[in-house]
Chain A
Amino acid sequence: MRAWLYLLAAAIAGAIITTPALLVYVLGGGTVDDALFASLATLMLVSALAVVTMRDIIRCGLAMIVSFLALAGIYVVAGAPLVAAAQVIVYIGAISVLILFAIMLTQSKAGPASLVFQTQAVPAAIAAIVLAVLIALGVSATDWGEAAERVRLATSALATVLFRDYVLPFEVVSVLLLAAVIGGVFIAKRETEQEPD
């Protein structure tokens, strides 16, 4: 009985992912890149919506990983494969695991929150929709002076710029990471001298 439900859910998820690609590729006459973009964008938005609306917070964390993965695919389509690799390593490999561990450390068995949303959820939803519409209108009304198509960037050129023009920010970021690690350990450390558990 449960297996059929899982199969049905998998079929619905597959339909959600492949339908935009088919629509763009077959009916819209787009290229393969267009189909990939439509598919990944739909997957990213659906899983991001799942992150902010689902009740079980562990599932929210897993949906967030799916969203990050789809975004890495969009980076590849946009022509920035190194950023996509960093996205997979940093976000999926490090930040998601950190967040999943924090979820497991802070969820009490006593009562998973019956009320997921604050009382201001409806005004928040209206504000978010207005924000998205305003951004879309502003983007489409502005002339960005962009090139007609994407600029593919070689990784060696990126490395040259990173280690020649941006070497000072690079080093400052490493100091910032060190400070964040020390600060995180210090804040989350159990204070055994003052109040032993």
Chain B
Amino acid sequence: MADSLDAYLVLAGALFAIGTFGFLARRNAISMLMSIELMLNAVNLAIVAFGSFIPELKADGSVIALMVMAVAAAEATVGLAIVIAIYRNRKTPLVDEYDAMRR
């Protein structure tokens, strides 16, 4: 099981689907950001699995995974700053109450 690429990829797909559900279904903006982190982790798992099973990608997989982590850190910083800035104005973290442009 640990020696087959398919197991890692199916696991990554399951984690990505869980993150998709969380992003679509949760009301809290920070929950949606956590779901995005789960999806980024799923992609990273797929990249690392490809890197360790396909000989041509031997080191490139790990390097790309490290880059994805750095970009995810930048995304989390800016996303949480935006959520905090909106919370300061609207006093709620729930995304379905951010309806200023619909009224």
Contact = CB atoms under 8 A, between A and B. Distances in A.
B45 to A, nearest CB: 6
Given A45-B18, A99-B33, A118-B27, A80 B61 contact: yes
Interface stretch (A1-9, A10-18, A90-98): A90-98
- The main secondary structure of chain B at its interface with chain A is helix
Interface in B50-97: 50-55, 58-63, 65-67, 69-78, 80-85, 87-88, 91-94, 96
Contact of A132 (B17, B45, B49, B69): B17
Interface residues of B, number: 76
B1 interface: yes
User: Do most interface residues of chain A lie in helix, strand or loop, or is the interface mixed?
Assistant: helix
Contacts of B37: 64, 91, 95, 99
Interface in B17-62: 17-22, 24-31, 33-35, 37-38, 41, 44-45, 48-55, 58-62
A36 B73 CA distance: 28
A40 to B, nearest CB: 9
Contacts of A33: 2-3
28 contacts: A37-B7, A45-B11, A48-B18, A48-B38, A52-B35, A57-B31, A64-B34, A71-B45, A90-B70, A99-B34, A105-B84, A106-B29, A106-B84, A113-B28, A116-B26, A124-B21, A131-B17, A131-B20, A132-B13, A135-B13, A140-B6, A150-B3, A157-B59, A173-B71, A177-B74, A187-B81, A187-B84, A187-B85
Contacts of B74: 176-177, 179-180
Interface in A102-160: 102-103, 105-108, 113, 115-118, 120-121, 124-125, 127-129, 131-132, 135-136, 139-140, 144-153, 157-158, 160
Given A74-B11, A145-B54, A146-B54, 10 more contacts: A52-B35, A80-B61, A87-B69, A124-B24, A128-B17, A146-B5, A150-B2, A157-B59, A162-B66, A176-B71
Nearest to B92: A108
Contacts of B25: 52, 117-118, 120-121, 124-125
A37 B22 CA distance: 24
Contacts, number: 261
Interface string A4-43: 0000000000000000000010001011011011100100
Contacts of A169: 67
B70 A147 contact: no
A33 B76 CA distance: 33
B84 A78 contact: no
